Amino acid sequence: MRNRCATCERLLQHLNDRRFVTGTDLGKELKISRAAVHKHIESLKASGLPVDGISGRGYRLARGVVPMDEAAIRDRLDERSTDLVSKIIVECIVDSTSSRLLQLSASESIHGVVCITESQPAGRGRRGRHWIATPFTNLLMSVGWVYESWPRDITGLSVAVGISLIEAIRSLDIDGLGMKWPNDLVIDGKKTGGILIEVSGESTGRCTVVVGLGINVRMGGDDGRSIDQPWTDLETVRGQAVNRNELAAACLSALCRMLQAFPEAGFEPWRIKWADVDVLTGETVSITTHQNGVSTEGVVTGLDTTGALLVDVKGQGIRSLLSGEVSVRAR
Ligand code: BTN
C-alpha cells in the first residue's frame, strides 16, 4: 500500500491541533471543493491521522499531533549534513520505508535518500518481525547510502548507527537511552527504538545500505498491547512533548555524518564509545542461534574490534557472536 497524494500533504500543512479550520476555508486555501476536502480528510483518516471533524466547526488534529514536514526537517539539519542528504521523501502511508528505498534502489541511486512515513502497515523488524507504531506520532525513517566498495568494518555498522542515534537524541536533552546489542535502543530495559540494517551488492563492488529506524515517540495504548516485549516511548519518559521533525533532523544529521566517515574511520571510534551506551556488559544472557534455534547462557564481556559481542559461555570460554547469527536476551 502506498499513498502519495499531494493534496493530502498540502491539507496536512493547514491542519493543526490548536484550532478548528472549516472545510470551506481549507477548500479555498487548496482551491478544491468542500466535498473534495472531506474526501481527502477521509483518506488521511484511513492512513491513521487522528483528526476531529465537527459539523459547523471544521477539522482539528488530535492534541499534540504535528505532522512530519520535509522543510522543517531540512531547516534543522546540521551544516555538515545538509549536502549529504540528497532527497527527503515524506509520505502519509508506506508499507515500509526500508522496502520503499530498496525498491527505488533497483532503478536509481539511493545515496543520501531518506524516506519518512507517518503510517507503516507493513513495517519490518529484524528476523521478519512486524514493527508496530501508532500512526502520526512516532518516527519511522529509512536512509539509503551507497559505498563504491564494501567498508572494511561493515559488521560493526549497527553499533555505530545505534551510538550515533543515542548521541543525537541526548543532544535534544532526552536522556536515559542505552543500546542493547546489536540493534535495540532501550530505556530501563524497555525497547524504545529499533534499527534494521540491510546491505546488498556484489562482494567485490558497490554496496548499498538501507538503515531503517523506528523510534517510539508516542505510542497509543492499543498498539502497545500488541508488542510482545517490554517497551516505552520518549514522551512518557521525558514527561513532555517531543518535536518529531527536530528528532528526525538530529538523527538524520548524526547518521549521515557517521555513514560518510565510516569507510575511512572504521569501527574503532565507535568501539571506544560503546561503554557510554552499552546495557549488556556484565549481564547474563541467553543466546539463541538463528540457524538451529539452540540456546546457551553466558555473561557478556564486551565487544571485539569488529562489533561482534563477546560472551563468556561456561565450558566454552569467550565466544564472539555476529549480529546476523544470534538473538540475545537478558536473563
Ligand atoms: C527491530 O528492532 O527489529 C528493527 C525495527 C526497525 C523498524 C524500522 S521503522 C522504519 C524502517 N522501515 C521498516 O520497515 N523497518 C524500519
Strands 139-147 and 207-215: antiparallel
Q: What is the domain-level CATH number for residue 317?
A: 2.30.30.100
For the CA of 123, the closest atom of ligand 1 is 14
166 and 47 housed in the same domain: no
CA of 264 to the centre of ligand 1 (A): 27
Query: Could you tell me if the CB of 96 is within 6 A of ligand 1?
Result: yes
Domain-ending residue, one of 35, 61, 87:
61
Q: Provide the pLDDT for residue 288.
A: 87
> Is the domain of 11 the same as that of 99?
no
Q: Are residues 257 and 113 in the same domain?
A: yes
Point out the domain boundary residue: 25, 44, 61: 61
8-state DSSP, 278: B
Does residue 291 share a domain with residue 269?
A: no
Sheet holding 317-321, edge to edge: 317-321, 309-313, 295-303, 284-289, 326-330
DSSP state of 290: T
Same domain, 127 and 34: no
Distances (CA, A) of 237 to 36, 188, 189: 40, 10, 13
183 and 156 assigned to the same domain: yes
55 and 38 Cβ atoms separated by less than 8 Å: no
Q: Are residues 76 and 13 in the same domain?
A: no
Residues 288 and 270 in one domain: no
Q: Residue 261: how many CB atoms within 10 A of its CB?
A: 12
What integer pLDDT is reported at residue 2 of this predicted model?
43
Do residues 235 and 164 share a domain? yes
Residues 125 and 177 occupy one common structural domain = yes
CATH number of the domain within which 160 lies? 3.30.930.10
CA-proximal residue: ligand 1, atom 7 (nearest):
214
Give the pLDDT score at 5: 81
Which one of 196, 198, 215, 223 would you pick to mutate in the ligand 1 pocket, going by the greatest count of ligand atoms within 8 A of its CB? 196
CA of 169 to the centre of ligand 1 (A): 17
Per-residue tens of pLDDT for the chain, all 331 residues: 345 688 988 899 899 998 999 999 999 999 999 999 999 999 999 989 999 989 889 999 999 899 999 999 999 999 999 999 999 999 999 999 999 999 999 999 999 999 999 999 999 999 889 999 999 999 999 999 999 999 999 999 999 999 999 999 999 999 999 999 999 999 999 999 999 999 999 878 899 999 999 999 999 878 888 888 999 999 999 999 999 999 999 999 999 999 999 999 999 999 999 999 999 999 999 988 877 777 889 999 999 999 999 999 988 999 999 877 778 887 7
Ligand 1 centroid from CA 263, angstroms? 24
Look up the domain containing 317 and give its range.
Answer: 284-330
47 lines ligand 1 (CB under 6 A): no
Q: At what angle do helices 157-170 and 244-265 cross, to 10 degrees?
A: 140
Nearest atom, ligand 1, residue 191 CA: 2
Give the integer Cα–Cα distance in Å for 254 and 46.
33
- Of ligand 1's listed atoms, the one at least distance from the Cα of 99 is 14
My answer on whether 12 and 50 are in the same domain is: yes
Q: Pick from 61, 87, 102: which residue ends a domain?
A: 61
Cβ(142) to ligand 1 under 6 A?
A: yes
Within 13 Å of residue 190, how many CA atoms lie on the same side as its CB? 14
Of ligand 1's listed atoms, the one at least distance from the Cα of 125 is 3
The predicted structure's pLDDT at residue 251: 98
**pLDDT given for residue 127 in this prediction:** 85
Closest CA to 153 of 207, 213, 110: 207
CA gap 79, 155 in Å, rounded: 29
Nearest CA to ligand 1 atom 3: 125
Q: What is the per-residue pLDDT for 328?
A: 84
Q: How many structural domains comprise the chain? A: 3
Task: Answer yes or no: do 233 and 176 share one domain.
Answer: yes
- Residue 1 falls inside a structural domain: no
- The answer to whether the CB of 129 falls within 8 A of the CB of 184 is no
